Amino acid sequence: MSLKSLSKTRWSIAPDRVTIYPYGLSYILAAVVAIIFAAGYFFYTRSMQNSMESSMPLLLVLIVIVILFVGWAGTSIEFDINSGIMRKKLMGFLPISSIPFSRIHGISPVSNMMGSYTYRVFKKDNRYGKGILVSCSYGKNDDPNAIAFVDEVITTVHRHLEAHDSPEDFMPQTIENYTFFNVQGGTYTLKKNRIGSIVFGTLLLAIGIHELTPYAWLGHDINIGRIFFLLFTLIGGPAIILAGFTDITIDKTSRLLTRTNPIGLGNKTYSFDNFNGIQTVRKSTNFIYSGTEVQVYFLKPGTQKEEAIALQSFFSTRKVERFVAELNSIII
């Protein structure tokens, strides 16, 4: 088995269960870590002139860390058809969590800000949360492993999940009052926190201007860090202010979604006829969750290419679910 195939999602399908192994990349990481540890241990024993006995505790710690990587690589997600339960098993045999099929909404793709995506299992009561990872990361929509995963695994799992659904599970949420839109007749305008945008944007811009004065906190040296900081404050500040005054309006009468701002930068108009779905993008900064962005997709007229427009970002999954429900009630 090649290193590339190890890093891809693997699975096995039997009459009574579907088993997925999404953490194969950890095998490669385990090999890399083992090589680094071996070199470090060799250098430590030789340069420090330590005997095998005296350095045995360190060696054991390093071996345990490598074993943990290998064990995590063997972690599986098992859909037990007979019992109707999904289990996550550490090292492929030690159950660490279980969810009845009746509580599972399904397996959905989750995009990130870098353009790649993974597949995760989501529960019915938390459809826009973190989810449970069931695939490796994919960079392209036409990845052969991703296509096979959808055709062979997701289709099979969803067929068995449907047997545990009830009619109440997928009833559309009735929207009578809108939380995230200002409504005037058939026009729905996305609410904006303009005061927050003005305050934060002005603060960034003021800091950037200050750094151009003789009293700059970061000094006056020309280096990459200072240049990036100035660009972030001097461009980011006005951009945040402009975002606060950018209006997104959905008109049910004309069946148009429009994005406008006072200077006309980035103004767009989309027809409901080209609407191609809603997608959520989980954002992270330094691997720390920083919110979920709701995007709507439209096909460019005369092509099959999609164009995305970001509408709103939330930390709370409940707010994401409510926002999507309101959006669906307007566009669909």
For 82-127, the pLDDT digits (tens) are 999 999 999 888 999 999 999 999 998 887 766 788 899 999 988 8
Does 224 score more than 70 pLDDT? Answer: yes
3-state helix, strand, coil in the chain (%, to 5): 40, 30, 30
Token representation of residue 326: 């309101």
Euclidean distance between CA atoms 8 and 27, whole angstroms: 11
Q: What is the pLDDT of residues 40-49, one digit of tens each?
A: 878 877 776 6
Inter-residue contact 121 to 86 (CB < 8 Å): yes
Among 199, 183, 202, 203, CA closest to 191:
183
Eight-state DSSP code of residue 44: H
Does 1 score more than 60 pLDDT? Answer: no
Summarize the confidence of residues 300-305 as an average pLDDT.
83
Among 162, 157, 154, 118, CA closest to 138:
118
Give 201: exposed, middle or buried? Use CB within 10 Å, 0-12, 13-18, 19+.
buried
pTM above 0.75, yes or no: no
Q: What is the crossing angle of helices 194-210 and 224-244, to 10°? A: 150
At a CB cut-off of 8 Å and minimum separation 6, what does 52 contact?
Answer: 45
Inter-residue contact 154 to 205 (CB < 8 Å): no
Token representation of residue 263: 């200077």
How many C-beta neighbours within 10 Å does residue 46 have? 9
Does 184 score more than 70 pLDDT? Answer: yes
* pLDDT > 90 fraction of the chain, expressed in percent and rounded: 42
Euclidean distance between CA atoms 198 and 238, whole angstroms: 9
Rounded to a whole number of angstroms, the distance between the first and last alpha carbons of the chain is: 47
SS3 1: coil
Inter-residue contact 73 to 23 (CB < 8 Å): yes
* Of the candidate ranges 2-16, 66-80, 156-170, the one whose mean pLDDT is the lowest: 2-16
pLDDT band at residue 51, thresholds of 50, 70 and 90? low
Inter-residue contact 327 to 249 (CB < 8 Å): no
The pLDDT, as a whole number, for residue 156 is: 96
Euclidean distance between CA atoms 272 and 297, whole angstroms: 10
The pLDDT, as a whole number, for residue 121 is: 95
Does 269 score more than 90 pLDDT? Answer: yes
Euclidean distance between CA atoms 6 and 3, whole angstroms: 5
The pLDDT, as a whole number, for residue 207 is: 92
